[in-house]
Structure 1
């Protein structure tokens, strides 16, 4: 293991405190993600499962982990602790972190094509016109579902760009980790306390 660590911050349900005490680690259960999204969970879970699968190709995940834990890379952009939550201030070995672009993640969540750049965006718009499709939202969940398999493949392939960071700022870059290990936790911030 390299000595390089990075500081990450993540807000979690305060029930995770027991998990940390009991197991010496915290992992995110898939069911928590489902609960968080309520009725719209089925749509979103497909995206989260895609993320989990894709991210684990980049950094193998422990057997028992089925959902990501997402962290802010800065105090400024970290969600503040509210009642029922705590913020974990972590120092994580760099080789345990997969960075991704949260703005690009929205494309995955919306199940639409993620363009490489402005030029690609224009080209894709033109492409949709050429095939007579007015709405790129409808390929994976909508009236075109199943009708354009090659488009579906193109869209899914484009999502991998979420792991390519072109623009490194604290507002769009997030860090994914598979677990929070006790030795990584430098500080636990409760509601009403300052993060740093």
Structure 2
């Protein structure tokens, strides 16, 4: 029997129709764009990078555009509110891309992701010695386009987002390319508990 992992994800309740009609739910770049509004272009660059790297870990189906963010615990999952539902899923283990959500903030901010505190201190000292006033301005701001080697160094560091040193329900996310109907353990509506004793696996 295929080994599965319990995941939790809050989604717009319009996805219920897609699940019924197509047998699966997909995420689209357009949804990311709508969610972030005017700052979407910056976020989409980060999401596109994530998509490119994540599919090296778990191959992306051709019909999928973006991954679906999932919590690894009911405790840390966003609760269902009006217009949303939470899908409680049993996903095959080999279909999940795990990453560190704290590290993801470095990718969103488009800054260098250090290996550890020592590497972080070393990097900041290097920037200071080279006369850089800010580490936030290599992709947007005064240094944009001027230091391609530094840009590459920063982008290469982001791969550490998939390296998990601390397995915590508050740090680790499990991303998937789709929600298949057969993976749905249950659907939780607003004012319903996400998990009770009989659900625990």
- Shorter-chain TM range is over 0.9
RMSD: 0.7
**Deviation at 1:35?**
0.3
| Secondary structure of the structure 1 residue equivalent to 2:169 | coil
In 2, Cα distance between equivalents of 1:61 and 1:171: 26
Q: Are positions 1:7 and 2:2 aligned together?
A: no
| Secondary structure of the structure 2 residue equivalent to 1:91 | strand
Matches within 5 A, 1:1-150: 3-150=2-149
**Deviation at 1:33?**
0.8
**Deviation at 1:58?**
1.1
**Deviation at 1:160?**
0.3
In 2, Cα distance between equivalents of 1:171 and 1:60: 26
**Deviation at 1:15?**
0.4
Gap regions ≥5 residues in structure 1:
none
In 2, Cα distance between equivalents of 1:7 and 1:62: 21
TM-score using structure 2 length: 0.96
- Number of aligned residue pairs: 195
In structure 1, the partner of 2:164 is 165
**Deviation at 1:5?**
0.5
Q: Are positions 1:187 and 2:174 aligned together?
A: no
**Deviation at 1:130?**
1.4
**Deviation at 1:64?**
1.2
TM-score using structure 1 length: 0.98
